């Protein structure tokens, strides 16, 4: 079980990631604010505690696969990877610049240096990509069962897919979800960012998703619903998903878009908008204050 001390460390890291997101977006003068801020806790837990991948094992064939389907929230991915030690934090300043590795949608054109498995952009495709990776891991495991003694085992892994609630409007998402359920694809876990917004407004106004948990259950998925800002719940849900042997698992993460910045929280207008100088300064002041509170609460 994760300790209180470790939770405090991860909360501090998530706060730093949020500050990095604000600074990146300010320098880029474009990009998405609400989603990255809202998913900082999930990404922190995933890359620092859950997934079987580290900077030292980034290219290993049996590393876990992490698929970011809603690739427009990539500032949180980049900030997480930098804080995890995959590349210098100074590089975060190159977000959305010409020639940078840190493009406005994450892509896998840079080899094993960045542990980015897919190229994103068109919403809905990541679910299919993740299903394919999970099927490949299962195929390797089955081949290992019949290989001769002494043969080197084929790599196997767990696949973690990160999906937005808005992209579940895409029919392709549900085709992949249906296939994973049909195959009882226990090698796959999906995190759904249930922040209730998309670029045009609130999800339940644009295209209602509820009852979302029941829909996944109807496709033969196990469902865990959590507070997406509670590190202990995130880690516990991932542990539960790994232990489920019958079918794939979806972890529905109830999050606050723009989390940590009062004037951004729960406002869909911040889905695809960066802060200006004054807004960034106000956001950073608030986040730094929150960071200090995190430390004092756990001393």
Q: Which residue has the higher pLDDT, 80 or 108?
A: 80
Which pLDDT belongs to residue 58?
Answer: 87
Angle subtended at Cα 54 by Cα 51 and Cα 57, rounded to the nearest 5 degrees: 115
Tell me the domain boundaries of the chain: 4-297
CATH number, span 4-297: 3.40.50.970
48: DSSP letter = I
pLDDT confidence bin for 292, thresholds 50/70/90: confident
Distance CA 226, CA 237 (A): 8
Paired tokens of 135? 């099927």
Query: Residue 250's closest CA among 209, 204, 217?
Result: 217
* Tokens, residue 266: 């729960």
Q: Does the structure show a pLDDT above 80 at 99? A: yes
Does pLDDT of 61 surpass 90? yes
**Which range, of 25-34, 116-125, 187-196, averages the lowest pLDDT?**
116-125
Residue 240 CA from chain centroid, whole number: 17
Q: Is residue 280 predicted with pLDDT exceeding 90?
A: yes
What is the predicted pLDDT for the residue at 147?
74
Checking if the pLDDT of 112 tops 80, the result is no
- In the block, tokens 């406005």 appear at 104
Q: Quote the pLDDT of residue 299.
A: 61
Say yes or no to pLDDT of 45 above 70: yes
- Does residue 296 have a pLDDT over 90? no
* Mean pLDDT value across the chain: 95
Mean pLDDT of 19-33: 98
Per-residue pLDDT at 257? 98
- What average pLDDT does the segment 86-91 reach? 96
Q: What is the percent of the chain where pLDDT is above 90?
A: 88
DSSP for 81-99, please give it. Answer: HHHHTSS-GGGGGGTT-TT
E-state strands within the chain:
65-68, 159-164, 188-194, 197-198, 201-202, 222-227, 249-254
- Nearest to residue 164, comparing CAs of 173, 156, 175, 151? 173
Peptide bond into 60 cis (omega under 30): no
Per-residue pLDDT of 207-243, as tens digits, reads: 999 999 999 999 999 999 999 999 999 999 999 999 9
User: Residue 148: its pLDDT value, please?
Assistant: 65
Which position has the token pair 């300043």? 93
Q: What percent of the chain has pLDDT over 70?
A: 97
């Amino acid at each position: 079980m994760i300790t209180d001390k470790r939770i405090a460390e991860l909360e501090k890291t998530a706060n730093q990631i949020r500050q990095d997101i604000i600074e990146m977006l300010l320098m880029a003068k474009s990009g998405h604010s609400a989603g990255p801020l809202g998913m900082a806790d999930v990404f922190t837990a995933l890359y620092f505690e859950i997934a079987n991948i580290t900077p030292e094992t980034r290219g290993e064939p049996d590393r876990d696969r992490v698929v970011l389907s809603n690739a427009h929230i990539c500032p949180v991915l980049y900030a997480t990877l930098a804080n995890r030690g995959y590349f210098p934090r100074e590089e975060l300043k190159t977000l959305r610049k010409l020639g940078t590795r840190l493009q406005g949608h994450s892509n896998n054109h840079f080899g094993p240096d960045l542990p980015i498995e897919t190229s994103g952009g068109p919403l809905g495709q990541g679910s299919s990509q993740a299903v394919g990776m999970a099927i490949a891991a299962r195929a390797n495991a089955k081949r290992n069962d019949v290989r001769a003694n002494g043969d080197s085992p084929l790599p196997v892994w767990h696949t973690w897919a990160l999906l937005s609630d808005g992209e579940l409007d895409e029919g392709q998402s549900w085709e992949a979800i249906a296939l994973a359920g049909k195959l009882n694809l226990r090698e796959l876990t999906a995190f759904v960012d249930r922040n209730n917004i998309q670029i045009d407004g609130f999800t339940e106004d644009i295209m209602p998703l509820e009852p979302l948990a029941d829909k996944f259950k109807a496709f033969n998925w196990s469902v865990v619903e959590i507070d997406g800002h509670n590190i202990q719940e995130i880690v516990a849900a991932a542990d539960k998903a790994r232990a489920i042997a019958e079918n794939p698992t979806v972890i529905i993460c109830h999050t606050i878009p723009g989390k940590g910045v009062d004037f951004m929280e729960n406002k869909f207008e911040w889905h695809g908008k960066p802060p200006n100088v004054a807004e960034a300064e106000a956001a950073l002041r608030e986040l730094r204050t929150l960071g200090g509170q995190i430390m004092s609460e756990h001393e």
